[in-house]
Chain A
Amino acid sequence: MRTEKLELVCPAGTPAALRAAVDAGADTIYCGFRDATNARNFPGLNFSREEMGEGINYAKRHEAHVLVALNTYPEAGNPEPWHQAVLDAADLGAHALIMADVGLLDFASKHRPDTRRHLSVQASASNPDAIAYYQDRFDIKRVVLPRVLTVPEIAKLNAQINVETEVFVFGGLCVMAEGRCSLSSYATGQSPNMNGVCSPASHVRYEDKGNKLVSKLGEFTINQFRQSEAAGYPTLCKGRFVTQDKPSYLFEDPTSLNAAEFLPDLMDAGVTALKIEGRQRGKAYIAQVVAAFRKAADAAARGEPVPPLGLETITEGQRETTGAYNKRWQ
Chain B
Amino acid sequence: MSHSLKGPVAPLSPVLLAGMAIRPLPYGLIQPLFNKAIAQMHQQHPDVFDRLIPLGSPRFLIDPIDLPFSFIMDTRPTAPSLTLLDKQEDERTQNIQASIRGPLLLLIELLEGRIDGDALFFSRDLVVEGDTEAVLGLRNAVDGADINVHTDLLHIFGPLARPVDGAAQLAGRLFNRFSKDLNTLSKATLAPLQRKCDAQAASLAEMEDTITALKKQLRRRSGKSA
Which residue numbers of A lie inside 8 Å of B, CB to CB? Answer: 13-17, 42-45, 200-202, 204-211, 213, 225, 227-232, 254, 280-285, 288, 313-318
Contacts and interface: CB of A to CB of B under 8 A. Distances in A.
Contacts, number: 112
B143 A17 contact: yes
B39 interface: no
A230 B6 contact: no
Nearest to A20: B113
B94 interface: no
Nearest to A315: B122
B43 interface: no
Given A16-B146, A230-B123, A208 B6 contact: yes
Given A14-B140, A282-B115, A282-B117, A206 B122 contact: no
Contacts of A16: 113, 143-146
Contact of B116 (A15, A213, A254, A314): A314
B115 A44 contact: no
Contacts of B140: 13-14, 42-45
B118 interface: yes
Nearest to A44: B140
B144 A14 contact: yes
Interface residues of B, number: 39
Interface stretch (B15-23, B127-135, B158-166): B127-135
A230 B145 CA distance: 28
Contacts of A13: 140, 143-144
Nearest to B140: A44
A316 B139 CA distance: 17
Nearest to A51: B144
A143 B76 CA distance: 44
27 contacts: A13-B140, A13-B144, A14-B143, A16-B143, A44-B52, A44-B136, A201-B132, A201-B136, A202-B132, A202-B133, A204-B133, A205-B130, A206-B127, A208-B127, A210-B6, A213-B124, A228-B124, A231-B124, A232-B122, A282-B110, A283-B113, A285-B116, A313-B119, A314-B116, A315-B122, A316-B118, A318-B123
Contacts of B124: 213, 225, 227-231
